Amino acid sequence: MILPVYTYGHTVLRKETEEVEQGYEGLSQLIDDMFETLRKTEGVGLAAPQVGLPLRLMVVDLDIIADEQPEFKGYLRSYINPYIEETGGPLVPYEEGCLSFPGIHEKVMRPSRVRVSWLDNDFNEHDEWFEGFPARVMQHEIDHLDGKCFIDRMSPLRRQMLKKSLSLIQAGRFNCDYKVKLPKK
């Protein structure tokens, strides 16, 4: 089932998330729905708060860019209770977008490498370093699980310049090809 994406202005995007407990009812269906939603939006990552759930859960689909980058063929991963354990490498710029901020693409600085711990769908523990594009996606999505959004990582000047666009998003005045849920006025 395709879920509506919660856009900027929803308080759920600013909440600390709860860890997913083993036996959480409907977890595998939820993960399937998040993958289906992500594919529909043509995004590469989706965090549970973006579908209205304050849960420490996210999915990543890099298979969608496998035409240009064949190393990502079949790269569909779900992460339960992921945490950034360590970062490394230089801070690097990259132009990010976010499904909760339709139309906004801005350069964000982040470390080039990141070590993440998480549980897989069987609740087995993992701990791995990510680099390159996957490191970028992990950091963006895990921020969502900490109530942070990419606009928080931009310079105050850039944020100031985006003020108008942000208020239009909040008011629901934007175009996008996927189903969204606007915040209540």
The window from 24-32, 76-84, 94-102, 173-181 that contacts Ni ion (CB under 5 A) reads 94-102
Give the count of beta carbons closer than 10 Å to the beta carbon of residue 144: 25
- As given in the structure block, the two tokens for residue 132 are 């390159």
- As given in the structure block, the two tokens for residue 143 are 């921020």
Helix, strand counts (H, E) of the chain: 4, 7
Half-sphere exposure of 68 (CA within 13 A, CB side): 4
The three-class DSSP label of residue 70 is: helix
By the rule CB under 5 A, 51 interacts with Ni ion: no
Give the nearest distance from C-beta 140 to Ni ion in angstroms: 5
The window from 3-11, 16-24, 91-99, 114-122 that contacts Ni ion (CB under 5 A) reads 91-99
By the rule CB under 5 A, 12 interacts with Ni ion: no
Nearer to Ni ion, 125 or 142 (CB): 142
Active site residue 95: no
Total number of residues that touch Ni ion (CB under 5 A): 1
Q: Which residues bind Ni ion (CB under 5 A)?
A: 98
